[in-house]
Amino acid sequence: MKLILTYIRKHLGIFLLSTFFLASEALCDLLQPTFMSYIVDDGVRNADIGRILFYGLIMTGIALCGAFCAVMRNRFASRTSQTVGKELRRDMYRSVQRLSMENIDRLQPASIITRITNDVTQVQEFINSMMRMMVKAPLTCIGAIVLITIQTPVQAPVIVAIVFAAALLIFGNMKIAYPRFGRVQSKLDRLNGVTREYLSAVRVVKAFRAEKEEAKKFEEASFEMLDEQSEPEDRKNAAPLVRPRGDIELRHVSFCYLPGQPVLKDISVKIPAGTQTAIVGTTGSGKTTVINLLTRFYDVSEGCIFLDGHDLRDYRMEDLREAFGVVLQDTALFAATVSENICYGHPEAGQEQIRQAAKTAGADGFIERLPQGYHTVLEQGGMELSQGERQLLTIARAVLADAPILILDEATSSVDTVTEQRIRRALLEICKDRTSVIIAHRLSTIRDSDLILLLENGEIAEQGTHEELMNLDGRYAQMYKMQTGTYEKAAKAAEREGA
Ligand SMILES: Nc1ncnc2c1ncn2[C@@H]1O[C@H](COP(=O)(O)OP(=O)(O)OP(=O)(O)O)[C@@H](O)[C@H]1O
Ligand SMILES: [Mg+2]
Protein backbone atom coordinates (compact mmCIF):
# COMPACT_ATOMS: atom_id res chain seq x y z
CA MET A 1 0.00 0.00 0.00
CA LYS A 2 2.76 2.40 1.04
CA LEU A 3 4.66 1.28 -2.04
CA ILE A 4 1.74 2.08 -4.32
CA LEU A 5 1.42 5.52 -2.78
CA THR A 6 5.06 6.34 -3.51
CA TYR A 7 4.44 5.46 -7.14
CA ILE A 8 1.22 7.49 -7.27
CA ARG A 9 3.00 10.44 -5.68
CA LYS A 10 5.30 10.55 -8.69
CA HIS A 11 2.28 11.11 -10.94
CA LEU A 12 0.34 13.25 -8.53
CA GLY A 13 -0.71 15.70 -11.23
CA ILE A 14 -2.57 13.20 -13.37
CA PHE A 15 -3.89 11.46 -10.30
CA LEU A 16 -5.36 14.68 -8.91
CA LEU A 17 -6.79 15.55 -12.31
CA SER A 18 -8.64 12.27 -12.47
CA THR A 19 -9.80 12.76 -8.88
CA PHE A 20 -11.13 16.18 -9.88
CA PHE A 21 -13.14 14.75 -12.78
CA LEU A 22 -14.37 11.98 -10.55
CA ALA A 23 -15.61 14.51 -8.04
CA SER A 24 -17.31 16.55 -10.78
CA GLU A 25 -18.94 13.39 -12.05
CA ALA A 26 -20.30 12.69 -8.58
CA LEU A 27 -21.59 16.24 -8.35
CA CYS A 28 -23.46 15.88 -11.64
CA ASP A 29 -25.02 12.66 -10.40
CA LEU A 30 -26.15 14.47 -7.28
CA LEU A 31 -27.71 17.43 -9.08
CA GLN A 32 -30.06 15.33 -11.20
CA PRO A 33 -32.61 14.40 -8.49
CA THR A 34 -32.70 18.03 -7.34
CA PHE A 35 -33.86 19.21 -10.76
CA MET A 36 -36.19 16.26 -10.99
CA SER A 37 -37.88 17.56 -7.84
CA TYR A 38 -38.14 21.06 -9.38
CA ILE A 39 -39.85 19.58 -12.42
CA VAL A 40 -42.42 17.85 -10.24
CA ASP A 41 -42.90 20.68 -7.72
CA ASP A 42 -42.84 23.68 -10.07
CA GLY A 43 -43.68 22.30 -13.47
CA VAL A 44 -46.06 19.40 -13.01
CA ARG A 45 -47.98 20.86 -10.08
CA ASN A 46 -48.59 24.14 -11.91
CA ALA A 47 -49.04 22.41 -15.30
CA ASP A 48 -46.32 24.70 -16.65
CA ILE A 49 -44.84 23.07 -19.78
CA GLY A 50 -42.30 25.87 -20.20
CA ARG A 51 -40.76 25.18 -16.77
CA ILE A 52 -40.72 21.44 -17.37
CA LEU A 53 -38.84 21.92 -20.64
CA PHE A 54 -36.50 24.43 -19.03
CA TYR A 55 -35.48 22.07 -16.18
CA GLY A 56 -35.39 19.17 -18.62
CA LEU A 57 -32.87 21.06 -20.72
CA ILE A 58 -30.74 21.80 -17.67
CA MET A 59 -30.83 18.12 -16.71
CA THR A 60 -29.71 17.12 -20.20
CA GLY A 61 -26.85 19.62 -19.90
CA ILE A 62 -25.81 18.19 -16.56
CA ALA A 63 -26.01 14.64 -17.93
CA LEU A 64 -23.73 15.61 -20.83
CA CYS A 65 -21.36 17.35 -18.46
CA GLY A 66 -21.36 14.21 -16.25
CA ALA A 67 -20.63 12.00 -19.24
CA PHE A 68 -17.75 14.24 -20.26
CA CYS A 69 -16.32 14.11 -16.73
CA ALA A 70 -16.68 10.32 -16.70
CA VAL A 71 -14.74 10.02 -19.95
CA MET A 72 -11.99 12.32 -18.72
CA ARG A 73 -11.83 10.57 -15.36
CA ASN A 74 -11.52 7.24 -17.14
CA ARG A 75 -8.72 8.56 -19.33
CA PHE A 76 -6.65 10.01 -16.52
CA ALA A 77 -7.32 7.13 -14.14
CA SER A 78 -6.21 4.62 -16.76
CA ARG A 79 -3.17 6.71 -17.51
CA THR A 80 -2.23 6.78 -13.82
CA SER A 81 -2.70 3.08 -13.32
CA GLN A 82 -0.93 2.22 -16.58
CA THR A 83 2.08 4.39 -15.80
CA VAL A 84 2.32 3.17 -12.25
CA GLY A 85 1.97 -0.41 -13.50
CA LYS A 86 4.69 0.12 -16.08
CA GLU A 87 7.08 1.61 -13.57
CA LEU A 88 6.35 -1.12 -11.08
CA ARG A 89 7.08 -3.75 -13.71
CA ARG A 90 10.29 -2.01 -14.72
CA ASP A 91 11.47 -1.70 -11.11
CA MET A 92 10.54 -5.27 -10.35
CA TYR A 93 12.43 -6.42 -13.40
CA ARG A 94 15.46 -4.40 -12.28
CA SER A 95 15.33 -5.86 -8.80
CA VAL A 96 15.04 -9.35 -10.28
CA GLN A 97 18.23 -8.64 -12.18
CA ARG A 98 19.91 -7.57 -8.98
CA LEU A 99 18.74 -10.56 -6.97
CA SER A 100 21.51 -12.85 -5.88
CA MET A 101 21.38 -16.41 -7.11
CA GLU A 102 20.51 -17.62 -3.64
CA ASN A 103 17.48 -15.35 -3.57
CA ILE A 104 16.42 -16.39 -7.04
CA ASP A 105 16.63 -20.02 -5.97
CA ARG A 106 14.54 -19.18 -2.93
CA LEU A 107 11.86 -17.08 -4.62
CA GLN A 108 11.64 -19.48 -7.54
CA PRO A 109 11.19 -18.33 -11.14
CA ALA A 110 7.50 -19.31 -11.22
CA SER A 111 6.73 -17.00 -8.36
CA ILE A 112 8.80 -14.18 -9.84
CA ILE A 113 6.84 -14.43 -13.08
CA THR A 114 3.52 -14.42 -11.20
CA ARG A 115 4.62 -11.33 -9.38
CA ILE A 116 5.66 -9.34 -12.38
CA THR A 117 2.55 -10.16 -14.40
CA ASN A 118 -0.36 -10.83 -12.04
CA ASP A 119 0.53 -8.69 -9.08
CA VAL A 120 1.11 -5.61 -11.20
CA THR A 121 -2.25 -6.10 -12.90
CA GLN A 122 -3.84 -6.38 -9.49
CA VAL A 123 -2.18 -3.17 -8.38
CA GLN A 124 -3.56 -1.42 -11.45
CA GLU A 125 -7.06 -2.64 -10.72
CA PHE A 126 -6.62 -1.64 -7.14
CA ILE A 127 -5.71 1.93 -8.08
CA ASN A 128 -8.79 2.14 -10.28
CA SER A 129 -11.14 0.81 -7.67
CA MET A 130 -9.50 2.76 -4.86
CA MET A 131 -10.36 5.99 -6.64
CA ARG A 132 -13.92 4.92 -7.14
CA MET A 133 -14.37 3.73 -3.56
CA MET A 134 -12.43 6.35 -1.70
CA VAL A 135 -13.50 9.39 -3.68
CA LYS A 136 -16.77 8.85 -5.48
CA ALA A 137 -18.69 6.84 -2.90
CA PRO A 138 -18.05 9.13 0.10
CA LEU A 139 -18.60 12.26 -2.01
CA THR A 140 -21.94 11.01 -3.28
CA CYS A 141 -22.95 10.02 0.21
CA ILE A 142 -22.01 13.30 1.88
CA GLY A 143 -23.44 15.34 -1.01
CA ALA A 144 -26.74 13.48 -0.78
CA ILE A 145 -27.00 14.12 2.95
CA VAL A 146 -26.25 17.81 2.46
CA LEU A 147 -28.86 18.13 -0.27
CA ILE A 148 -31.51 16.35 1.77
CA THR A 149 -30.77 18.54 4.77
CA ILE A 150 -31.14 21.68 2.67
CA GLN A 151 -34.35 20.64 0.98
CA THR A 152 -36.20 18.85 3.78
CA PRO A 153 -34.56 19.69 7.10
CA VAL A 154 -37.16 17.67 8.99
CA GLN A 155 -35.91 14.38 7.55
CA ALA A 156 -32.26 15.10 8.21
CA PRO A 157 -31.94 13.41 11.64
CA VAL A 158 -33.53 10.21 10.31
CA ILE A 159 -31.14 10.08 7.34
CA VAL A 160 -28.10 10.76 9.49
CA ALA A 161 -29.13 7.99 11.87
CA ILE A 162 -29.56 5.51 9.00
CA VAL A 163 -26.21 6.44 7.43
CA PHE A 164 -24.50 6.14 10.79
CA ALA A 165 -25.97 2.66 11.37
CA ALA A 166 -24.97 1.57 7.86
CA ALA A 167 -21.43 2.89 8.33
CA LEU A 168 -21.15 0.97 11.59
CA LEU A 169 -22.29 -2.24 9.89
CA ILE A 170 -19.88 -1.82 7.00
CA PHE A 171 -17.02 -1.06 9.33
CA GLY A 172 -17.73 -4.14 11.44
CA ASN A 173 -18.00 -6.27 8.34
CA MET A 174 -14.65 -5.05 7.02
CA LYS A 175 -12.98 -5.59 10.35
CA ILE A 176 -13.98 -9.24 10.30
CA ALA A 177 -13.67 -9.89 6.58
CA TYR A 178 -10.44 -8.08 5.80
CA PRO A 179 -7.98 -10.40 7.57
CA ARG A 180 -9.81 -13.38 6.10
CA PHE A 181 -9.59 -11.89 2.66
CA GLY A 182 -5.84 -11.51 3.16
CA ARG A 183 -5.56 -15.13 4.17
CA VAL A 184 -7.52 -16.27 1.14
CA GLN A 185 -5.24 -14.21 -1.08
CA SER A 186 -2.04 -15.64 0.33
CA LYS A 187 -3.41 -19.17 0.08
CA LEU A 188 -4.37 -18.53 -3.53
CA ASP A 189 -0.87 -17.25 -4.13
CA ARG A 190 0.59 -20.37 -2.69
CA LEU A 191 -1.68 -22.61 -4.68
CA ASN A 192 -0.92 -20.67 -7.82
CA GLY A 193 2.82 -20.97 -7.34
CA VAL A 194 2.84 -24.62 -6.48
CA THR A 195 0.50 -25.48 -9.37
CA ARG A 196 2.54 -23.54 -11.89
CA GLU A 197 5.77 -25.01 -10.75
CA TYR A 198 4.32 -28.45 -10.65
CA LEU A 199 2.98 -28.13 -14.18
CA SER A 200 6.21 -26.81 -15.61
CA ALA A 201 8.33 -29.40 -13.91
CA VAL A 202 5.88 -32.23 -13.96
CA ARG A 203 8.12 -34.62 -15.85
CA VAL A 204 11.10 -34.03 -13.62
CA VAL A 205 9.00 -34.20 -10.49
CA LYS A 206 7.44 -37.44 -11.58
CA ALA A 207 10.82 -38.85 -12.51
CA PHE A 208 12.01 -38.26 -9.00
CA ARG A 209 8.72 -39.22 -7.40
CA ALA A 210 8.87 -36.07 -5.33
CA GLU A 211 5.18 -35.22 -5.58
CA LYS A 212 4.67 -35.31 -1.83
CA GLU A 213 7.52 -32.94 -1.04
CA GLU A 214 6.38 -30.70 -3.83
CA ALA A 215 2.89 -30.48 -2.36
CA LYS A 216 4.37 -29.25 0.92
CA LYS A 217 6.26 -26.37 -0.64
CA PHE A 218 4.92 -22.88 -0.39
CA GLU A 219 5.70 -19.35 -1.46
CA GLU A 220 6.59 -16.07 0.12
CA ALA A 221 4.26 -13.09 0.37
CA SER A 222 3.92 -10.65 -2.49
CA PHE A 223 6.31 -7.79 -3.12
CA GLU A 224 8.76 -8.98 -0.52
CA MET A 225 11.14 -9.33 -3.41
CA LEU A 226 11.40 -5.56 -3.85
CA ASP A 227 12.95 -5.36 -0.41
CA GLU A 228 15.30 -8.22 -1.09
CA GLN A 229 18.97 -7.57 -0.45
CA SER A 230 21.16 -7.89 -3.49
CA GLU A 231 24.35 -9.85 -3.21
CA PRO A 232 27.25 -9.46 -3.71
CA GLU A 233 27.12 -5.83 -2.64
CA ASP A 234 28.63 -2.79 -4.30
CA ARG A 235 31.81 -1.51 -2.73
CA LYS A 236 31.57 1.82 -0.93
CA ASN A 237 33.07 3.96 -3.68
CA ALA A 238 32.08 1.77 -6.61
CA ALA A 239 32.86 3.45 -9.91
CA PRO A 240 30.26 4.03 -12.63
CA LEU A 241 30.83 2.20 -15.88
CA VAL A 242 29.61 3.56 -19.18
CA ARG A 243 29.84 1.35 -22.26
CA PRO A 244 33.10 -0.43 -21.48
CA ARG A 245 35.50 -1.29 -24.30
CA GLY A 246 35.34 -4.89 -23.20
CA ASP A 247 38.91 -5.92 -22.35
CA ILE A 248 38.52 -8.84 -19.99
CA GLU A 249 41.21 -10.60 -18.04
CA LEU A 250 40.98 -13.47 -15.57
CA ARG A 251 44.05 -13.64 -13.35
CA HIS A 252 44.61 -16.76 -11.26
CA VAL A 253 40.90 -17.16 -10.71
CA SER A 254 39.69 -19.95 -8.45
CA PHE A 255 36.17 -20.52 -7.26
CA CYS A 256 34.17 -22.86 -5.07
CA TYR A 257 30.41 -22.92 -4.58
CA LEU A 258 30.93 -25.00 -1.45
CA PRO A 259 33.96 -24.54 0.82
CA GLY A 260 36.79 -26.90 0.00
CA GLN A 261 35.32 -28.01 -3.35
CA PRO A 262 36.97 -25.90 -6.06
CA VAL A 263 35.01 -25.80 -9.30
CA LEU A 264 37.49 -23.51 -11.10
CA LYS A 265 41.19 -23.76 -10.40
CA ASP A 266 43.72 -21.05 -11.17
CA ILE A 267 42.29 -19.85 -14.46
CA SER A 268 44.25 -17.14 -16.26
CA VAL A 269 43.18 -15.84 -19.65
CA LYS A 270 43.05 -12.58 -21.58
CA ILE A 271 40.05 -11.70 -23.74
CA PRO A 272 40.84 -8.58 -25.81
CA ALA A 273 38.00 -6.19 -26.63
CA GLY A 274 36.04 -7.01 -29.76
CA THR A 275 37.08 -10.66 -29.94
CA GLN A 276 35.06 -13.83 -29.66
CA THR A 277 36.07 -16.42 -27.11
CA ALA A 278 34.49 -19.83 -26.90
CA ILE A 279 34.46 -22.07 -23.86
CA VAL A 280 34.00 -25.77 -24.49
CA GLY A 281 34.26 -28.82 -22.30
CA THR A 282 32.34 -31.73 -20.91
CA THR A 283 29.31 -31.29 -18.69
CA GLY A 284 30.19 -30.05 -15.21
CA SER A 285 33.62 -28.81 -16.27
CA GLY A 286 32.84 -25.29 -15.03
CA LYS A 287 31.79 -23.41 -18.19
CA THR A 288 28.65 -21.81 -16.77
CA THR A 289 30.55 -21.02 -13.60
CA VAL A 290 32.99 -18.83 -15.57
CA ILE A 291 30.00 -16.84 -16.81
CA ASN A 292 28.54 -16.62 -13.31
CA LEU A 293 31.78 -14.99 -12.22
CA LEU A 294 31.99 -12.62 -15.20
CA THR A 295 28.49 -11.31 -14.58
CA ARG A 296 29.13 -11.30 -10.83
CA PHE A 297 26.32 -13.64 -9.97
CA TYR A 298 29.04 -14.91 -7.70
CA ASP A 299 32.37 -13.38 -6.69
CA VAL A 300 35.68 -15.13 -7.25
CA SER A 301 37.07 -17.06 -4.28
CA GLU A 302 40.67 -16.28 -5.25
CA GLY A 303 42.34 -14.21 -7.93
CA CYS A 304 40.80 -11.35 -9.84
CA ILE A 305 38.72 -10.55 -12.90
CA PHE A 306 39.47 -7.29 -14.70
CA LEU A 307 37.26 -5.35 -17.07
CA ASP A 308 38.96 -2.52 -18.93
CA GLY A 309 41.83 -2.78 -16.45
CA HIS A 310 39.79 -2.51 -13.25
CA ASP A 311 38.63 -5.16 -10.83
CA LEU A 312 35.00 -6.10 -11.56
CA ARG A 313 34.19 -5.48 -7.92
CA ASP A 314 35.16 -1.82 -8.30
CA TYR A 315 32.22 -1.15 -10.61
CA ARG A 316 28.64 -0.56 -9.71
CA MET A 317 26.69 -3.77 -10.01
CA GLU A 318 23.91 -2.07 -11.93
CA ASP A 319 26.26 -0.76 -14.63
CA LEU A 320 27.99 -4.09 -14.83
CA ARG A 321 24.77 -5.96 -15.50
CA GLU A 322 23.94 -3.46 -18.21
CA ALA A 323 27.34 -3.95 -19.84
CA PHE A 324 26.63 -7.65 -20.33
CA GLY A 325 24.01 -8.98 -22.70
CA VAL A 326 23.38 -12.45 -21.41
CA VAL A 327 21.70 -15.39 -23.09
CA LEU A 328 21.55 -18.11 -20.50
CA GLN A 329 21.46 -21.86 -20.82
CA ASP A 330 18.07 -22.14 -19.17
CA THR A 331 16.32 -19.51 -21.25
CA ALA A 332 14.03 -17.29 -19.23
CA LEU A 333 10.85 -16.56 -21.16
CA PHE A 334 7.71 -15.20 -19.58
CA ALA A 335 4.02 -15.73 -19.97
CA ALA A 336 3.65 -12.61 -22.11
CA THR A 337 3.55 -11.82 -25.83
CA VAL A 338 6.51 -12.58 -28.09
CA SER A 339 7.14 -8.84 -28.46
CA GLU A 340 7.11 -8.27 -24.72
CA ASN A 341 9.51 -11.13 -24.28
CA ILE A 342 11.94 -9.63 -26.76
CA CYS A 343 11.86 -6.12 -25.32
CA TYR A 344 12.02 -7.30 -21.74
CA GLY A 345 13.97 -4.78 -19.68
CA HIS A 346 13.65 -2.26 -22.52
CA PRO A 347 9.97 -1.38 -22.46
CA GLU A 348 10.66 1.78 -24.45
CA ALA A 349 11.56 -0.21 -27.58
CA GLY A 350 9.19 0.27 -30.51
CA GLN A 351 7.58 -2.44 -32.61
CA GLU A 352 9.98 -1.75 -35.49
CA GLN A 353 13.02 -2.14 -33.23
CA ILE A 354 11.64 -5.41 -31.92
CA ARG A 355 11.13 -6.74 -35.43
CA GLN A 356 14.62 -5.69 -36.42
CA ALA A 357 16.12 -7.47 -33.41
CA ALA A 358 14.16 -10.61 -34.22
CA LYS A 359 15.36 -10.43 -37.80
CA THR A 360 18.99 -10.09 -36.77
CA ALA A 361 18.59 -13.08 -34.48
CA GLY A 362 16.96 -15.04 -37.30
CA ALA A 363 13.85 -15.48 -35.17
CA ASP A 364 11.42 -13.56 -37.40
CA GLY A 365 10.71 -16.61 -39.56
CA PHE A 366 9.13 -18.74 -36.90
CA ILE A 367 7.52 -15.75 -35.15
CA GLU A 368 5.62 -14.84 -38.33
CA ARG A 369 4.31 -18.38 -38.48
CA LEU A 370 2.82 -18.16 -34.97
CA PRO A 371 -0.98 -17.65 -34.89
CA GLN A 372 -0.80 -13.96 -33.88
CA GLY A 373 2.77 -13.29 -34.94
CA TYR A 374 4.53 -10.95 -32.55
CA HIS A 375 1.38 -10.61 -30.47
CA THR A 376 1.11 -14.32 -29.75
CA VAL A 377 0.97 -14.85 -26.01
CA LEU A 378 3.36 -17.50 -24.76
CA GLU A 379 0.84 -18.95 -22.35
CA GLN A 380 3.24 -21.55 -21.05
CA GLY A 381 6.21 -19.25 -20.69
CA GLY A 382 7.79 -20.51 -23.90
CA MET A 383 7.34 -24.21 -23.20
CA GLU A 384 5.18 -24.36 -26.32
CA LEU A 385 8.23 -23.44 -28.43
CA SER A 386 11.12 -25.69 -29.30
CA GLN A 387 14.38 -25.30 -27.42
CA GLY A 388 16.03 -23.71 -30.44
CA GLU A 389 13.18 -21.24 -30.92
CA ARG A 390 13.38 -20.26 -27.29
CA GLN A 391 17.07 -19.62 -27.68
CA LEU A 392 16.51 -17.53 -30.82
CA LEU A 393 14.03 -15.40 -28.86
CA THR A 394 16.52 -14.78 -26.08
CA ILE A 395 19.17 -13.95 -28.67
CA ALA A 396 16.75 -11.38 -30.12
CA ARG A 397 16.40 -9.98 -26.62
CA ALA A 398 20.17 -9.65 -26.35
CA VAL A 399 20.33 -7.97 -29.77
CA LEU A 400 17.79 -5.40 -28.63
CA ALA A 401 19.67 -4.80 -25.38
CA ASP A 402 22.72 -3.97 -27.54
CA ALA A 403 25.17 -4.50 -24.67
CA PRO A 404 28.88 -4.04 -25.39
CA ILE A 405 29.75 -7.50 -24.11
CA LEU A 406 27.76 -10.53 -25.13
CA ILE A 407 27.63 -13.72 -23.13
CA LEU A 408 25.95 -16.79 -24.47
CA ASP A 409 25.48 -20.07 -22.68
CA GLU A 410 24.37 -22.20 -25.56
CA ALA A 411 21.67 -24.75 -25.09
CA THR A 412 21.74 -25.97 -28.64
CA SER A 413 23.02 -29.49 -28.08
CA SER A 414 19.62 -30.87 -29.02
CA VAL A 415 18.73 -28.43 -31.77
CA ASP A 416 18.21 -29.49 -35.38
CA THR A 417 20.90 -28.55 -37.88
CA VAL A 418 18.81 -25.90 -39.64
CA THR A 419 18.13 -24.01 -36.41
CA GLU A 420 21.75 -24.49 -35.41
CA GLN A 421 22.85 -22.82 -38.64
CA ARG A 422 20.46 -19.99 -37.93
CA ILE A 423 21.84 -19.52 -34.45
CA ARG A 424 25.37 -19.61 -35.81
CA ARG A 425 24.55 -16.91 -38.35
CA ALA A 426 22.81 -14.80 -35.70
CA LEU A 427 25.88 -15.09 -33.52
CA LEU A 428 28.24 -14.03 -36.29
CA GLU A 429 26.01 -11.03 -36.87
CA ILE A 430 25.74 -9.83 -33.27
CA CYS A 431 29.27 -10.74 -32.19
CA LYS A 432 30.62 -8.39 -34.82
CA ASP A 433 32.53 -5.55 -33.13
CA ARG A 434 31.84 -6.66 -29.64
CA THR A 435 33.48 -8.78 -27.01
CA SER A 436 31.72 -12.08 -26.75
CA VAL A 437 32.09 -15.17 -24.65
CA ILE A 438 30.25 -18.17 -25.96
CA ILE A 439 29.73 -21.57 -24.46
CA ALA A 440 29.02 -24.06 -27.17
CA HIS A 441 28.16 -27.71 -27.22
CA ARG A 442 28.33 -28.07 -30.98
CA LEU A 443 31.90 -27.25 -31.82
CA SER A 444 31.02 -26.34 -35.39
CA THR A 445 29.18 -23.26 -34.03
CA ILE A 446 32.35 -21.75 -32.61
CA ARG A 447 34.93 -22.77 -35.20
CA ASP A 448 35.55 -19.16 -36.20
CA SER A 449 36.21 -17.91 -32.65
CA ASP A 450 39.39 -15.94 -32.00
CA LEU A 451 40.14 -18.08 -28.97
CA ILE A 452 38.82 -21.45 -27.83
CA LEU A 453 39.24 -22.59 -24.23
CA LEU A 454 38.79 -26.22 -23.39
CA LEU A 455 37.89 -26.68 -19.73
CA GLU A 456 38.42 -29.91 -17.90
CA ASN A 457 37.62 -30.28 -14.21
CA GLY A 458 37.77 -26.53 -13.72
CA GLU A 459 41.12 -26.07 -15.43
CA ILE A 460 42.08 -24.87 -18.88
CA ALA A 461 43.28 -28.02 -20.56
CA GLU A 462 43.81 -26.60 -24.05
CA GLN A 463 43.58 -23.18 -25.64
CA GLY A 464 44.05 -21.66 -29.08
CA THR A 465 42.23 -21.17 -32.36
CA HIS A 466 40.35 -24.00 -34.05
CA GLU A 467 43.31 -24.66 -36.38
CA GLU A 468 45.83 -24.64 -33.55
CA LEU A 469 43.79 -27.04 -31.46
CA MET A 470 43.20 -29.35 -34.44
CA ASN A 471 46.96 -29.40 -35.07
CA LEU A 472 47.55 -30.13 -31.40
CA ASP A 473 45.46 -33.24 -31.99
CA GLY A 474 44.44 -33.44 -28.32
CA ARG A 475 41.05 -33.57 -26.56
CA TYR A 476 39.51 -30.82 -28.67
CA ALA A 477 40.50 -32.42 -31.95
CA GLN A 478 39.10 -35.70 -30.69
CA MET A 479 35.79 -34.11 -29.67
CA TYR A 480 35.51 -32.25 -32.97
CA LYS A 481 36.13 -35.33 -35.06
CA MET A 482 33.61 -37.28 -33.06
CA GLN A 483 30.94 -34.64 -33.58
CA THR A 484 31.57 -34.08 -37.27
CA GLY A 485 31.80 -37.82 -37.76
CA THR A 486 28.26 -38.23 -36.51
CA TYR A 487 27.18 -35.37 -38.72
CA GLU A 488 28.56 -37.01 -41.83
CA LYS A 489 26.84 -40.25 -40.93
CA ALA A 490 23.57 -38.47 -40.28
CA ALA A 491 23.84 -36.56 -43.53
CA LYS A 492 24.50 -39.75 -45.46
CA ALA A 493 21.56 -41.46 -43.79
CA ALA A 494 19.31 -38.54 -44.72
CA GLU A 495 20.54 -38.71 -48.30
CA ARG A 496 19.76 -42.40 -48.50
CA GLU A 497 16.29 -41.82 -47.12
CA GLY A 498 15.67 -39.02 -49.60
CA ALA A 499 16.81 -41.20 -52.51
N1 LIG B 1 24.89 -23.39 -7.38
C2 LIG B 1 25.77 -24.38 -7.25
N3 LIG B 1 26.07 -24.86 -6.03
C4 LIG B 1 26.97 -25.88 -5.88
N5 LIG B 1 27.62 -26.47 -6.90
C6 LIG B 1 27.37 -26.03 -8.14
C7 LIG B 1 26.43 -24.96 -8.38
N8 LIG B 1 26.39 -24.74 -9.72
C9 LIG B 1 27.24 -25.61 -10.28
N10 LIG B 1 27.84 -26.38 -9.35
C11 LIG B 1 28.85 -27.41 -9.61
O12 LIG B 1 29.96 -26.83 -10.25
C13 LIG B 1 30.46 -27.67 -11.26
C14 LIG B 1 30.55 -26.89 -12.59
O15 LIG B 1 29.24 -26.52 -12.99
P16 LIG B 1 28.93 -25.69 -14.29
O17 LIG B 1 27.51 -25.35 -14.26
O18 LIG B 1 29.92 -24.58 -14.39
O19 LIG B 1 29.23 -26.76 -15.44
P20 LIG B 1 29.10 -26.58 -17.02
O21 LIG B 1 30.46 -26.80 -17.58
O22 LIG B 1 28.41 -25.34 -17.35
O23 LIG B 1 28.19 -27.84 -17.40
P24 LIG B 1 27.08 -27.98 -18.57
O25 LIG B 1 27.81 -28.29 -19.81
O26 LIG B 1 26.27 -29.18 -18.13
O27 LIG B 1 26.28 -26.75 -18.60
C28 LIG B 1 29.54 -28.86 -11.32
O29 LIG B 1 30.18 -29.93 -10.66
C30 LIG B 1 28.32 -28.45 -10.57
O31 LIG B 1 27.76 -29.52 -9.89
MG1 LIG C 1 26.50 -24.94 -18.12
Q: What are 44-57's pLDDT values in tens digits?
A: 888 888 888 999 99
* pLDDT score at 256: 92
Query: Does the pTM of the predicted model rise above 0.75?
Result: no
pLDDT greater than 70 at residue 101: no
Ligand closest to 102 (CA) is: 1
Say if residues 397 and 316 touch (Cβ distance below 8 Å): no
pLDDT greater than 80 at residue 293: yes
* pLDDT score at 31: 86
Residue 479 Cα to ligand 1 midpoint, Å, equals 20
- Residues 241-261 have a mean pLDDT of 91
Domain architecture of the chain: domains with CATH? 2-202 (1.20.1560.10), 248-498 (3.40.50.300)
Pocket of ligand 1 (CB under 6 A): 257-258, 263, 281, 283-289, 329
At residue 136, φ and ψ (nearest 5 deg) are: -70, -50
Q: Please give the residue that has the higher pLDDT: either 240 or 205.
A: 240
* pLDDT score at 488: 58
Q: Over the stretch 329-354, which tens digit does the pLDDT of each residue have?
A: 666 788 888 998 898 877 788 899 99
pLDDT greater than 60 at residue 428: yes
Probe target for ligand 1 pocket from 100, 102, 288, 409, with the most ligand atoms within 8 Å of CB: 288
Query: How would residue 218 be classed by pLDDT, with cut points 50, 70 and 90?
Result: very low
289 CA closest ligand 1 atom index: 18
Share of the chain above pLDDT 70, in %: 82
pLDDT greater than 80 at residue 73: yes
In terms of DSSP bridges, do strands 451-456 and 459-464 run parallel, antiparallel, or are they unpaired? antiparallel
The whole-chain average pLDDT of the chain stands at: 81
- Residues 428-450 have a mean pLDDT of 85
Residue 218 Cα to ligand 1 midpoint, Å, equals 26
Residue 96 Cα to ligand 1 midpoint, Å, equals 22
Query: How would residue 42 be classed by pLDDT, with cut points 50, 70 and 90?
Result: confident
pLDDT greater than 90 at residue 304: yes
Ligand closest to 283 (CA) is: 1
Q: Over the stretch 198-208, which tens digit does the pLDDT of each residue have?
A: 565 555 555 44
Encode 411-437: b = buried (16+ Cβ within 10 Å), e = exposed: bbeebeeebbebbbebbeebbeebbbb
pLDDT greater than 80 at residue 5: no
* pLDDT score at 74: 85
CA torsion angle for 289, 294, 297, 303 (degrees, to 10)? 80
pLDDT greater than 90 at residue 472: yes
Query: How would residue 102 be classed by pLDDT, with cut points 50, 70 and 90?
Result: low
Nearest-10 crossing angle of helices 49-98, 2-10: 110
* pLDDT score at 145: 82
End-to-end alpha carbon distance in the chain: 69
